[in-house]
Structure 1
Amino acid sequence: MTVRPVIRRLGVGIAAGLAAVLALAGCSTGGDAVATGGDFQFVSPGGQTEIRYGDADRKKAPEIAGESLTEQGKRISVSDYAGKVVVVNLWGSWCGPCRGEADDLERVAAATKDSGVQFLGVNVKDDRSAAQDFVRNNGVTFPSLFDPPGRSLIGLKGYPRSTVPSTIVLDRQHRVAAVFLKPLLDTDLRPVVEQIAAEPA
């Protein structure tokens, strides 16, 4: 082996490393630095299952969007509900606790919709017909995305997409205001949603 090929390989490695560093720097600097730096990154201190974020600590959620579960070909997104508090619930027809909390979520959705609150389900790891049966059998009236691989939540950095059911409450600016990594009763969720809905727009 000659010295020249070794130097060439080293040069390629250094160039690749420099490109990676510059790419990372590009994510945190420049004209969109504030927007990028403000992205939500999930952390659960001490493994907490209920996390609230004060106004100063809230970060903008990425767009959550996908195909409607019940209206094939129709796209639904959080941005469709501008100015509303959006309660995003991850669920699956195969999930026992999801069946247990379905009527609780419905009660809170009905009680808060006139306050500018919209519920949006994200159906994961599921079969479309089984998920549609779940919606019918449990009287779920709010829309859901049909998203078996959970791709619509990839932008929620660090969020445990395998935790089902779980619920994310977005304030009127669609910043993450609360996270529940557990099944919910209406008495758990309603006071939180009402408090966030009562905040100044």
Structure 2
Amino acid sequence: MRATRSRKHALAVAGLALLTACSAGKDAVARGGTFEFVSPGGRTSIFYDPPQTRGTSPELAGDDLADPGKQLRVSGYPGNVVVLNIWGSWCGPCRAEMPHLQQVYNETEASGVQFLGIDVRDEPRTAPQDFVRDRHVAYPSIYDPPGRSLLALKGYPRNVVPSTIVLDRRHRVAAVFLTSLLDTDLRPVVQRLAAEPASGGPGA
């Protein structure tokens, strides 16, 4: 009997230690506060759930690709789901995924979803301008050849192009895709986030 109790106690301690290790270790899950990207061991699709574990995106801003005198910033879309796509006109996979992104934007804009591109490594400006014009891309892009705007996202792999970051209505990072996307990859994620409240009680 005494041995059984000792065994149960040992198992309980081991279980507590395991839970503590899981909650304290570094992984792909944000734990509130400001978002800081941690490499998830080779995964290219990362989801941050439940919502209260999501880290808030820092402000991302830069020159409007189409209008050099205008600034674009994430905070300019309060209460919207924001899809940030890092792309370049020189990038083959970007050319392939752009119609898929535009399709999801067309389908979800009315539900409070904003797409915002971040154009990197593109000089002169005319190349990406022609790129979006030829493909009838309706959403705006930040023009940021050196990728400085992404420095605000601590640990984010700026060399991965294309990649996509999806922010919920409170501009917390809800998903990261380190690969090119099809509309079928992105649509369910955006629709789910659009259905979440902009603010709420515990757990939201």
1:16 is matched with which residue? Answer: none
Q: What is the letter of the counterpart of residue 64 of structure 2? A: S
Pick from 60, 65, 69: which aligns with 2:56?
60
1:196 to 2:182 alignment: no
Considering fraction of residues, name the structure with more helix. 1
Q: What is the letter of the counterpart of residue 50 of structure 1? A: S
Residue ranges of structure 1 left out of the alignment (5+ in a row): 1-36
Pick from 39, 46, 49: which aligns with 1:51?
46
Q: Deviations over 1:80-111 (max 9, x none)?
A: 00000000000000000000001000000000
Q: Distance in 2 between matches of 1:157 and 1:48?
A: 18
Residue ranges of structure 2 left out of the alignment (5+ in a row): 1-31, 199-204
Q: What is the letter of the counterpart of residue 150 of structure 1? A: G
Count of residue correspondences: 165
Q: Distance in 1 between matches of 2:134 and 2:95?
A: 10
Runs of 4+ that moved beyond 2 A = none
Q: What is the letter of the counterpart of residue 46 of structure 1? A: G
Taking structure 1 as the reference length, the TM-score comes to 0.81
Q: Secondary structure of the residue that 2:41 maps to in structure 1?
A: helix
Pick from 132, 135, 154: which aligns with 2:132?
135
Q: How does 1:22-41 map to 2 (within 5 A)?
A: 38-41=33-36
Q: Distance in 1 between matches of 2:119 and 2:136?
A: 15
Identity in percent: 64
Q: Secondary structure of the residue that 2:142 maps to in structure 1?
A: strand
Q: Distance in 1 between matches of 2:173 and 2:86?
A: 15
Taking structure 2 as the reference length, the TM-score comes to 0.79
Q: What is the letter of the counterpart of residue 126 of structure 2? A: S
Q: What is the letter of the counterpart of residue 164 of structure 1? A: V
Q: Secondary structure of the residue that 1:133 maps to in structure 2?
A: helix
Q: Distance in 2 between matches of 1:89 and 1:73?
A: 22
Q: How does 1:1-201 map to 2 (within 5 A)?
A: 38-54=33-49, 55-127=51-123, 128-201=125-198
